[in-house]
Chains A and B, each alone.
Chain A
Amino acid sequence: MTTLPQYNFAYLDEQTKRMIRRAILKAIAIPGYQVPFSSREMPMPYGWGTGGVQVTASIIGPDDVLKVIDQGADDTTNAVSIRAFFAKVAQVETTTHTSDATIIQTRHRIPEKALSKGQVLVYQVPIPEPLRFLEPRETETRKMHALEEYGLMHVKLYEDIARHGRIATTYAYPVKVEGRYVMDPSPTPKFDNPKMHMSEALQLFGAGREHRIYAVPPHTEVVSLDFEDHPFAIQHFEQPCALCGAEQVYLDEVILDDRGGHMYVCSDTDHCEERRAAGHVGDLGVKEAAE
Chain B
Amino acid sequence: MSEPLLRVDNLTKYYGSRLGCADVSFELWPGEVLAIVGESGSGKTTLLNSLSATLEPSSGRTLYRMRDGQWRNIYELSEAERRFLVRTDWGFVHQNPADGLRMTVSAGANVGERLMAVGDRHYGRIRETALDWLGRVEIAADRIDDQPRAFSGGMRQRLQIARNLVTGPRLVFMDEPTGGLDVSVQARLLDLLRGLVGELGLAAIVVTHDLAVARLLSHRMMVMKDGYVIEAGLTDRVLDDPREPYTQLLVSSFLQV
Q: How large is the interface on B (under 10, 10 to 19, 20 to 34, 35 or more residues)?
A: 20 to 34
Cβ-based interface call for A289 (8 A) = no
CA distance A162 to B127 in the complex (A): 9
Q: Which residues of A contact B (CB under 8 A)?
A: 134, 143, 147, 149, 151-152, 154-156, 158-159, 161-163, 226-230
What residues on A are CB-neighbors of B106 within 8 Å?
A: 159, 162-163
B165 to chain A: closest CB distance in Å?
Answer: 17
Comparing B30-38, B63-71, B118-126, the segment that makes contact with chain A is B118-126
Q: Which residues of B contact A (CB under 8 A)?
A: 79-80, 83, 102, 105-106, 108-109, 112-114, 116-119, 121-124, 126-127, 144-145
Known: A143-B79, A158-B112, A159-B105. 12 other contacts (CB 8 A): A147-B80, A158-B108, A159-B106, A161-B123, A162-B106, A162-B109, A226-B121, A227-B122, A227-B123, A228-B122, A229-B122, A229-B124
Can you list 6 A-B contacts with CB-CB less than 8 angstroms, sorted by A residue number? A134-B102, A147-B83, A151-B118, A152-B116, A158-B123, A162-B145
**Which 4 pairs of residues, A with B, have the shortest CB-CB distance?**
A151-B117, A154-B116, A151-B116, A227-B123
B182 to chain A: closest CB distance in Å?
Answer: 31
B115 to chain A: closest CB distance in Å?
Answer: 8
CA distance A227 to B145 in the complex (A): 18
Secondary structure at the A interface, as helix, strand, loop or mixed, is: helix
CA distance A128 to B113 in the complex (A): 23
A175 to chain B: closest CB distance in Å?
Answer: 15
CA distance A90 to B102 in the complex (A): 49
CA distance A154 to B108 in the complex (A): 12
CA distance A149 to B119 in the complex (A): 10
A156 to chain B: closest CB distance in Å?
Answer: 8
Q: If the complex has contacts A162-B109, A162-B145, are A155 and B123 also in contact, measured as CB distance less than 8 A?
A: no
A146 to chain B: closest CB distance in Å?
Answer: 8
What residues on A are CB-neighbors of B144 within 8 Å?
A: 162
CA distance A229 to B120 in the complex (A): 11
Q: Find out whether the CB atom of A159 lies under 8 angstroms from the CB atom of B123.
A: no
Q: If the complex has contacts A147-B80, A147-B83, A149-B83, are A158 and B116 also in contact, measured as CB distance less than 8 A?
A: yes
Q: Find out whether the CB atom of A229 lies under 8 angstroms from the CB atom of B123.
A: yes
